[in-house]
Amino acid sequence: MAFTTLADLADGLRSRAFSSRELTQRFLERIAAHDQDLNSFISVAAERALDQADAADRRLARGDAGPLTGVPIAHKDVFCTAGLRTTCGSRMLENFIAPYDATAVARLDAAGAVTLGKTNCDEFAMGSSNENSYFGAVANPWRLERVPGGSSGGSAAAVAAGLTPAATGTDTGGSIRQPAAFCGLTGIKPTYGRVSRYGMVAFASSLDQGGVLARSVADAGLVLALMSGFDPLDSTSSEHRDPWLQALPEGTIGVPERPPVIGLPTQYFADLRHGQSQLDEARRVLEAAGCEFRDVDLPHTGVAIPAYYIIAGAEASTNLSRYDGVRFGHRCADPQSLDDLYRRSRSEGFGAEVKRRILTGTYALSVGYYDAYYLKAQKLRRLIQNDFFTAFDAVDLILAPTTPGTAFARGDLTDDPVAMYQQDIFTTPASLAGLPAMSVPCGFEDGLPLGMQLIGRHFGERALLETGALYQRHSAWHEEVPGGFAP
Amino acid sequence: MADIDLTHLCRLAQLALDPAEQRAAQTDLARIIGMVDQMQSVATDDVEPLAHPLGHAARLRRDEVTETVDRERFQALAPEVQDGFYLVPRVVE
């Protein structure tokens, strides 16, 4: 059961092979048995989950079950959940209980999903290794001394270890795709605006997107379909309608109407030291299934990381100014003045990486540096997006590595923020351009998983999911399970 | 090497760093700014900045009342409140 697909779990529930309470209990037992090795959950909501499971069982008995009714999932701890604390992996929000649900959470609740708990993440989703959490680092189920990736590292580790069948994540510069790659999962970051950001604690508002980590493209598509769509409560939510995605929970992902033409960006492969043979093999699988490949040029790839870290830092410094020790969140003891209240509350509440990002952003936005940094980064963002638009004149999708290598060891990059930032080299460009992108498992190197990334046009999730599903019909990497966590 | 006035930045960002944090932040910020200076290698004259990935203007809603103030519920989250007000140290003597 721990590694069964969402569709099969939903079928089992509808045919009454097992109840939602039994299923939920099973995953809660796995969390209790295994999570001391992983630290993938910040909060486990056992009682609440069993109540939700009982409600789902009643719905199932009435015969009005939806496609996910009674199926347990977990939420990254940046999605607000009414009555269940939302920490963002930060001391600042250690005791924060949101008075409302994020729209993505509300939609999955309405579909009948059961929330097992809230998963660990880098503080305020800032990191590529899940080592920046106030609640401790997360281990990679494939090898415990390795990082699971970040910032959705808890979601990735929990899904990979079979502690939850799927989990939500958020992706600002790669925070769904990179942990999916490091943990052997399918992870999709949809088009900017596809999933409501309402109740998703803001890091960098022009980049943040909610999405899914799951064990297959089919599972990821199902959860995405249920959590996405226009939301008047998010002023950046897109009104784009997608009948195909909307209908997905009632059907399955079919084969592409015509096999896609897939671009290989020369800049992404130029200095690739890991994963070349696995990506070559994936290409052969897709070619055998009828896909055609062409080289494409994305000439501004090299400045994506600097542009990303300026824009994300600038937006973070602005967004995080709301944490002031006054209205919610951590407040220092015995403040002597208003400035003292602000400064000590923020300095005690935020960890080192969050402070670095705030200071970087403050620098980029300060008088005399705005044009040279912030405006410059926004101009580069335009050039990066134009590169993709030009490439998509010739191809339907882009195939690239997700990461420069497999999961690195905990502690390896913590002393050098710039080396850590370089981990995001292949994921930040699609983020800056607002494009949908998905990481799919494509093999192993020395026993650790590798991911290939598919990048689509704006609102091109259908092509992404159909091509990813096509690949998974002809490959079995996504079915591998880390040895120590086998059922 | 970038010219970084850490004291000024901390004042703007309302952060207080202890001496060890200050030394680390100075080194890290110099590295980060050094890295982002790669941006200057690309000419961007006449390029229009991109602030929003879909190029949208902010959507306006109808001018109708849709929410009511629920002070008690929201102030339940606050560290210190009294009589419906948020408490902060005295600002005006």
Instruction: Give the chain A residue nearest B48 (alpha carbons).
Output: A379
Closest CA to A72 of A93, A98, A91, A46: A46
A379: which chain B residues are within 8 Å (Cβ-Cβ)? Answer: 44, 47-50
**One-letter amino acid for residue A329 of the chain:** G
What is the average per-residue pLDDT within A340-350? 98
Q: Round to whole Å and give the CA distance between A72 and A70.
A: 6
Catalytic residue, candidates A76, A90, A189, A439 = A76
Rounded Cα distance between A204 and B11, Å, is: 22
pLDDT digits (tens, 9 = 90+) for B21-76: 999 999 999 999 999 999 999 999 999 999 999 977 778 888 999 888 889 999 99
Closest-CA residue in chain A for B33?
Answer: A360
CB atoms within 10 A of CB A405: 16
Percent with pLDDT over 70 in chain A: 100
Find which of B5, B33, B39 to mutate to test the A interface (most A CBs within 10 Å of its CB).
B39
A382 with B16: Cβ contact below 8 A: no
Question: What number is the average pLDDT over the span A265-274?
Answer: 96
Q: Give contacts of A341 with chain B, Cβ < 8 Å.
A: 88-89
Task: Identify the pLDDT of residue B2.
Answer: 59
Closest C-alpha among A385, A384, A399 to residue A260: A399
Q: Is the Cβ pair A346, B15 closer than 8 Å?
A: yes
Residue A304 has pLDDT above 70, yes or no: yes
Task: Tell me, yes or no, if A238 is annotated catalytic.
Answer: no
A196 is catalytic: no
B67 C-beta neighbours (distance < 10 Å), count: 6
Residue A18 has which token pair? 């097992």
Residue in B40, B58, B78 nearest the CB of A327? B78
Name which of A54, A3, A4 is nearest A24 in CA terms. Answer: A54
- In the annotation, is A90 catalytic? no
Instruction: Tell me what pLDDT residue B91 has.
Output: 87
Q: What is the pLDDT of residue A48?
A: 97
Determine the pLDDT at residue A363. Answer: 96
Please give the backbone phi and psi of residue A305, each rounded to the nearest 5 degrees, phi first: -65, -50
Which distant-in-sequence residues (6+ apart) come within 8 Å of A201 by Cβ? Answer: A78, A79, A80, A86, A88, A93, A124, A125
Length of chain B: 93
Name the helix (H) or strand (E) containing A358: helix A352-365
Helix (H), strand (E) at residue A24 = helix A20-38
Q: Residue B77: which of A99, A417, A458 has the nearest Cβ? A: A99
Q: What's the rounded Cα separation, in Å, for the pair A297 and A72?
A: 42
The number of angstroms, rounded, from the C-alpha of A189 to the middle of its chain's C-alpha atoms is 6
What is the pLDDT, as a whole number, of residue B66? 84
CB contact under 8 A, B79 and A328: yes
Q: For A405-415, what is the mean pLDDT?
A: 96
The Cα A102–Cα A395 span in angstroms is: 36
* Closest Cα in chain B, distance from residue A117 (Å): 21
Q: What is the ipTM of this complex?
A: 0.95
Taking residues A419-425, report their average pLDDT.
95
**Secondary structure of residue A147 in the 3-state scheme:** coil
Q: Which residue has the tokens 């990979």?
A: A160
Contact (Cβ atoms closer than 8 angstroms) between residue A189 and residue A168: no
pLDDT band at B13 (very low <50, low <70, confident <90, very high): very high
SS3 of A288, please? helix
Q: What is the pLDDT of residues A53-74, one digit of tens each?
A: 999 999 999 999 999 999 999 9
Q: Do strands A186-189 and A397-401 pair parallel, antiparallel, or not at all (unpaired)?
A: unpaired
CB A211 within 8 A of CB A224: yes
CB atoms B89 and A338 under 8 Å: yes
Length of chain A: 487
Q: List Cα–Cα distances, B92 to A337, A385, B89, in angstroms.
A: 11, 50, 9
Catalytic hit among A151, A155, A228, A431: A151
Query: Mean pLDDT score of chain A, rounded to an integer?
Result: 97
Q: State phi, psi for A37 to the nearest 5 degrees.
A: -80, -25
Confidence (pLDDT) at A256: 95
Reported in sequence order, the residue ranges of A50-196 that DSSP labels E, i.e. its strands, are 72-76, 114-119, 166-171, 186-189
Task: Indicate left, alpha or beta for A124 from its phi (over 0: left) and psi (-120 to 50: alpha).
Answer: left
Q: What is the pLDDT of residue A218?
A: 98
**Quick one: average pLDDT of A280-290?**
98
Quote the pLDDT of residue B1: 46
Q: What is the pLDDT of residues A178-188, one digit of tens each?
A: 999 999 999 99
* Interval A421-448 mean pLDDT: 98
Sign, CA torsion A83/A84/A90/A94: positive
Quick one: CA torsion of A147, A429, A73, A185, rounded to 10 degrees? -60
- Binned at pLDDT 50, 70 and 90, residue A487 comes out as confident
Return the closest-CA partner of residue A139 out of A159, A153, A152. Answer: A153
CA angle A32, A37, A43 (to 5 degrees): 50
pTM of the predicted model, to two decimals? 0.97
